[in-house]
Amino acid sequence: MSLSKEVPADAFPQGFAWGAATAAYQIEGCWDMDGKGPSIWDTFCHAKGRVFEDQTGDVACNSYQLWEEDLKCIQQLGLTHYRLSLSWSRLLPDGTTNYINPKGVAYYNKVINDLIASAVMPMVTLNHFDLPQALENRGGWKSPEIADVFDSYAKFCFKTFGDRVKLWITVNEPYVCAKHGYEDGLYAPGLREPGTSVYLVGHNMLRAHSKAWHSYDANFRHLQGGKVSIALSSDWAEPLDPSNPEDVSATERYMDFILGWFACPVFCTGDYPEKMKTRIEARNLELGFSEGPRLPKFSEDEPNPLGTADFFALNYYTSRKVKNTSSHRSELSFKGDQGAEVVMDPSWPICGVSWLAVVPEGLRKLLNYIKETYNNPDIYITENGFSQIGPVELEDIERWQFYQDTLQEVSKAIRDDGVSVTGYFAWTLMDNFEWAEGFRARFGLFHVDFSRAELKRTVYHSGREYAAVISRHRTHIKLEKT
Ligand code: NOJ
């Protein structure tokens, strides 16, 4: 199947962003070079038993030193956009603007300038999981002061790079970060504090995001003309038994506890979803929990999150069937609050990592859901991808099939359903450090040879084909400095 035959030339609107994404800790390496401070991921990986085979991002793809190799990959794909993240502790080693690391600033200036010179628009994420360790030592995302510290960091970045960066993401995947970092302990900082910290962390991330958006709006937008959002991850979920009202409402809860948790305050009401609030309240009564509200309230004295996104940034990977559950009833936990159990449809193939069922059609459904539920926003798909584990296949036919199917679904969402999808970023430019999975899960459009110091990048079949699609569909954009 050739995408060019299937997709009419007008399916993707003028200026559609054809992108690929990465994140600092997953690619940069040089974890303590040139004045960089440690992040919570450095600490987490250096403790044994956290990551597959105790691997770390100490070297990763060495993009800090091999940026020009990455640039060649970006150019070879013909991307119009590249999503990268800034390492907060490379720029501000202790997380605050008390000391700014000039080498960190120089590195990102070069990356951004090289992208612009190659007519590639950067989309820059301020925090992709790697909180500075110095801030973690002061309470990290659990501490209320983090919102102001993040806001100062964001303002510093807007001021330093915003003449060239026009697309900003404040926080990447608050759901994943809060859930895996503070509830399950699977990600840094590795805390297991079920049913409590997860909501506090999510809340402080929303406060941090809102403050940064308001700062941009008040001080930078009129000068720089950019856009700011927060990248939200979500599965698409359907009831296991659509005729069972309990499964139907469990599915609604499932979506609200993942996506609505953040999207409802930002795009709908300025507050958490009603279903989430009532469910957590009811569980507090049921479990006799009385140590204050677990789901914090937004204060009237701070900028409200409502309206603090100039576009919807969506990371979509997979889908789930959901049934109502009464297990976890007696324990305080996020899952108990959510009251939903997930089931994998046996017809869905799994790619690489166990959680990744391949369901491209779920993306179209999710895009429609977002259109209906969150007031028809412009949507950038800021991540979507397919992993391989095991013997490397440079001819990654299945991955390319996945991308073709996915892009078909996106084009149908745009053309047939009228969803305003403004861009698509493949995860990821090249194989990299896949968090707790280490290097064994490969998501790249380029293969990286981690067995040799050169860390050679080689294009996969999927990368070649993606480049061909981009060259047929891309519209040239003019990038101007403000
Ligand atoms: C989403 C995360 O943002 C990214 O860092 C990760 O590698 C991918 N999911 C794949 O798991």
> Tens of pLDDT along 88-131?
999 999 999 999 999 999 999 999 999 999 999 999 999 999 99
The ligand 1 atom at the shortest distance from the C-alpha of residue 435 is 7
C-alpha 215/C-alpha 209 separation (Å) is 10
Contact 312, 173 (CB under 8 A): no
Residue 293: predicted pLDDT: 86
Give catalytic residues, as residue numbers: 383
Q: What percent of the chain has pLDDT over 90?
A: 92
Amino acid at 386: F
Choose the residue to mutate in 381, 383, 437 for probing ligand 1, maximizing ligand atoms within 8 Å of C-beta. 383
For ligand 1, the distance from its centroid to the CA atom of residue 459, given in whole angstroms, is 20
Q: Which atom of ligand 1 is nearest to the CA of 434?
A: 7
Nearest CA to ligand 1 atom 2: 173
Distance separating alpha carbons of residues 69 and 198, to the nearest angstrom: 38
| Closest ligand 1 atom, residue 23 Cα | 5
The pLDDT score that the predictor gives to residue 43 is 98
pLDDT in tens, 320-373: 999 998 766 778 999 999 999 999 999 999 999 999 999 999 999 999 999 999
Q: Is the pLDDT of residue 410 over 80?
A: yes
User: Quick one: pLDDT at residue 475?
Assistant: 75
Q: Whole-angstrom Cα distance, residue 37 to residue 329? A: 42
Exposure string (b/e) for 444-468, b if CB count within 10 Å is 16 or more? bbbbbebeeeebebebbbbbebbbe
Mean pLDDT, to the nearest integer, of 170-189? 98
Best residue among 354, 427, 437 to mutate for probing ligand 1's pocket (most ligand atoms within 8 Å of CB) is 427
Answer yes or no: are the C-beta atoms of 426 and 466 closer than 8 Å: yes
Model confidence pLDDT, tens digit, residues 103-112: 999 999 999 9
Per-residue pLDDT at 477 exceeds 70: no
Least confident range from 49-63, 106-120, 280-294, 452-466: namely 280-294
32 CA distance to ligand 1 centroid (A)?
23
Cα 66 from Cα 73, distance rounded (Å): 11
Ligand 1 midpoint to CA 17 (Å): 19
Q: Where are the domains of the chain?
A: 9-481
Distance, in Å, from the CA atom of 369 to the CA atom of 238, rounded to the nearest integer, reads 12
The protein residue whose alpha carbon is closest to atom 6 in ligand 1 is: 434
Cis, peptide link before residue 428, omega less than 30° from 0: yes
Residue 426 Cα to ligand 1 midpoint, Å, equals 11
Rg (CA), the chain: 21
- Which CATH fold topology does 9-481 show? TIM Barrel (3.20.20)
Supply the pLDDT for residue 476. Answer: 62
- Closest ligand 1 atom to residue 129 Cα is 5
- Nearest alpha carbon, ligand 1 atom 5: 23
- Gap between the Cα atoms of 1 and 435, Å rounded: 34
Please state the pTM of the whole predicted model: 0.97
Measured in Å, residue 292 CA sits from the centre of ligand 1 at: 33
Show Cβ contacts of residue 282 under 8 Å, excluding neighbours closer than 6 positions. none
- The pLDDT tens digits of the residues spanning 241-295 come to 999 999 999 999 999 999 999 999 999 999 999 999 999 999 999 999 988 789 9
| Residue of 250, 197, 259, 273 whose CA lies nearest to 231 | 259
Q: How many CB atoms lie within 10 A of CB 392?
A: 14
Q: What is the pLDDT of residue 1?
A: 46
Q: How far is the CA of 171 from the centre of ligand 1 (A)?
A: 13
Residue type, 107: Y
User: CB under 6 Å to ligand 1: residues?
Assistant: 23, 26, 172-173, 315, 383, 427, 434, 443
Check pLDDT > 90 for residue 481.
Answer: no
Q: Which atom of ligand 1 is nearest to the CA of 173?
A: 3
Q: How far apart are the C-alpha atoms of 386 and 405, rounded to whole Å?
A: 12
Burial class (CB in 10 A: 0-12, 13-18, 19+), 47: exposed
* Residue bearing the CA closest to ligand 1, atom 10: 434
Atom number, ligand 1, closest to the C-alpha of residue 443: 10
Using the mean position of ligand 1's atoms as its centre, give its distance from the Cα of residue 466 in Å.
Answer: 20
Above 70 in pLDDT, residue 6? Answer: no
Residue 332: other Cβ atoms inside 10 A? 17
Q: Are strands 340-343 and 319-324 parallel, antiparallel or unpaired?
A: antiparallel
**Residue of the CA atom closest to atom 7 of ligand 1:** 434
Query: Secondary structure of the chain in the HEC alphabet?
Result: CCHHHHCCCCCCCCCCEEEEECCHHHHCCCCCHHHCCCEHHHHHHHCCCCCHHHCCCCCCCCHHHHHHHHHHHHHHHCCCEEEEECCHHHHCCCCCCCCCCHHHHHHHHHHHHHHHHCCCEEEEEEECCCCEHHHHCCCHHHCCCHHHHHHHHHHHHHHHHCCCCCEEEEEECHHHHHHHHHHCCCCCCCCCCCCCHHHHHHHHHHHHHHHHHHHHHHHHHHHHCCEEEEEEECCEEEECCCCCHHHHHHHHHHHHHHHHHHHHHHHHCCCCCHHHHHHHHHHHHHHCCCCCCCCCCCCCCCCCCCCCCCCEEEECCCEEEEEECCCCCCCCCHHHHHCEEEECCCCCCECCCCCCECCHHHHHHHHHHHHHHCCCCCEEEEECCCCECCCCCCCCHHHHHHHHHHHHHHHHHHHCCCCCEEEEEEECCECCCCHHHCCCCECCCEEECCCCCCCCEEECHHHHHHHHHHHHHCCCCCCCCC
Q: Is the pLDDT of residue 482 over 90?
A: no
Cα–Cα distances in Å, from 389 out to 55, 75, 414, 449? 15, 27, 32, 14
* pLDDT for the residue numbered 292: 76
